[in-house]
Amino acid sequence: MANVIVLLEAKDASTLRPACLRAITFGREVSQTVGGALSLLLLGHEVGKLGEAARGYGADQVYVVDDCSLTPPLAERIAPTLRNVALLANATIVIAAATAFGKDVLPRLAELLDAAFVSECIGFEICSNDLLWRRPISAGNAVAYCKSESAHTVVSVRHTEFEPANAKLDFSPIEVLQAAKAEPLIDRVEPIGFEIVESSRPDIAEAHIVVSGGRPLAGRFFQVLGPLADALGAGLGATRAACDGGHVPSDYQVGQTGRVVSPDLYIAVGISGAIQHLSGIKGARIIVAINSDPEAPIVSIADYALIGNLFELVPDLTDELNRRKRDT
């Protein structure tokens, strides 16, 4: 038996990030399998409303730590508090979504707990009484099963592999706890700015359809792909080459070093299909490649490939979509 705690994240003052709702689903599956309690933890400042929201997911307990030192979130401050709460809750499995936040904080927590860290977990199973965690390695070219040999286990979950948890009718009990004391020697990172990537389009980790572009689009990236994404109600992503070209914010990057997506439909425009990019789209249900090169690696794995001039095909496809939308 092991108790499970899931670290939640705020999207804004009153909503939880969709990624952590998916992490709750994973956490519940784990706690049900190992037969332990499930608790949720919310860290931040003035998070009262969110704490209330967190009560609605059927966990055995919700913990809230409300402290001005926890925002903006810095690993040096979050990890010690998280450790204290995990110990207090007697939770030996600590889970959070593999967002940039989770990836920053969880390995630090693992070291503080002398614990194993399972990165980007996509599932688990019980095998001769051992709990085995499943995770992709080498850009998703292999899947490994690993076993924790420490008392605690810290897990970042590839949340796109799981459905968001639904709110339930009953409310979990809530307990407010203190933040760990700041340690001046460690606490030397000073946030001085934040540049938000504004987008009116859906977040690619959540979108049902993602349109992504590669290097050939260059300076015409938004001009060509924007109307298609809007006609589909899609999120917009890009390859590393497109981001490095400076025409697209780095937040758009999909792949091993960027973000992982698992939409119903992924439309890859002018993307050759490097191993590192394919790593981020393995969960997509249908992949469409629009490419000038019929020999591009992506064509060999795409469900549908449209071959020809991108700068003609994409506007034609957009017009076709808009025409059919008008007709129905």
Partner 1 sequence: MRILVPLKQVPDPDSANKLRVSNDNLRLDNTAIEKKTNPFDECALETALRLTEDARSPRQRHGEVVVVTLGPSDADVTLRSALATGADRAIRIEASDDQIDARCVAQALAALTLREACDLVLIGKQSVDGDSNEVGQRLAARLGWPQVTFASRIVAQHDSRFEIERAVDGGTQTVAVQTPVVITVDLRIVGPDAVRSTHTPTEYQYIAGLRFASLPAIMQARRKPLVVMTLDNLGIQLTRCLRYVRYEIPPSRIGGRVLSNPGELMNLLINEAKVL
Residues 20-79 that bind partner 1 (CB under 8 A): 72, 75-76, 79
Query: Do 64 and 44 form a contact (C-beta atoms < 8 A)?
Result: no
Strand partners, 199: none
Coil, strand or helix: which one is 130? strand
From candidates 63, 117, 124, 221, binder to partner 1 by CB under 8 A: 117
For residue 276, the one-letter residue type is Q
Q: Which residue number, 9 or 66, has a Cβ lying nearer to partner 1?
A: 9
Q: What is the nearest approach in angstroms of partner 1 to the Cβ of residue 8?
A: 14
Identify the residue among 120, 236, 262, 271 touching partner 1 (CB under 8 A).
120
CA distance 32 to 60: 12
For partner 1, which residue of 35, 169, 196, 327 counts as binding (CB under 8 A)? Answer: 196
Interface pick for partner 1 out of 194, 295, 326, 327 (rule CB under 8 A)? 194
- Decide if residue 191 touches partner 1 (CB under 8 A): yes
Judged by beta carbon, residue 35 or residue 191, the one nearer partner 1 is 191
The token pair at 38 is 């499930």
126 binds partner 1 (CB under 8 A): no
Q: Note whether 128 and 113 are within 8 A (CB).
A: no
301 forms part of the interface with partner 1 (CB under 8 A) = yes
Shortest Cβ 174–partner 1 spacing (Å): 25
299 within 8 A of 306, measured Cβ to Cβ = no
The answer to whether 110 contacts partner 1 (rule: CB under 8 A) is: yes
Map the footprint of partner 1 across residues 216-235, applying CB under 8 A: 232
- Whichever of 168 and 304 has its CB closer to partner 1, that residue is 304
Least separation in angstroms between residue 301's CB and partner 1 is 4
> Does residue 190 belong to the site contacting partner 1 (CB under 8 A)?
yes
Pair of tokens at residue 270: 């002018």
Interaction of residue 287 with partner 1, rule CB under 8 A: yes
Choice from 3, 81, 92, 99 touching partner 1 (CB under 8 A): 99
The strand pair at 174-177 and 153-157 is best described as: unpaired
Residue 305 interacts with partner 1 (CB under 8 A)?
yes
Stretch that binds partner 1, among 23-31, 174-182, 218-226, 303-311 (CB under 8 A): 303-311
How many beta carbons lie within 10 A of that of residue 290, not counting itself?
A: 25
When binding is defined by CB under 8 A, the residue of 88, 181, 186, 223 that contacts partner 1 is: 186
Judged by DSSP in three states, 133 sits in strand
Place of tokens 């340690």: 183
Q: Does 139 bind partner 1 (CB under 8 A)?
A: yes
Under the criterion CB under 8 A, does residue 293 sit at the interface with partner 1? no
Based on CB atoms, which residue is closest to partner 1, 7 or 313? 313
Of 153, 171, 237, nearest in space to 199 by CA? 237
Cα-Cα-Cα-Cα torsion 284, 200, 22, 16, nearest 10 degrees, comes to: 170
Gyration radius of the chain's alpha carbons? 21
Residue 110 CA to residue 103 CA, distance in Å, equals 11
Binding region for partner 1 (CB under 8 A) out of 23-31, 40-48, 169-177, 307-315: 307-315
Residues of this chain, 199-218, that bind partner 1 according to CB under 8 A = 209
Residues 6+ apart with CB under 8 A from 228: 211, 234, 267, 269, 314, 317, 318, 321
Which is closer to partner 1, CB of 79 or CB of 95? 79
* Token pair 């979050």: residue: 78
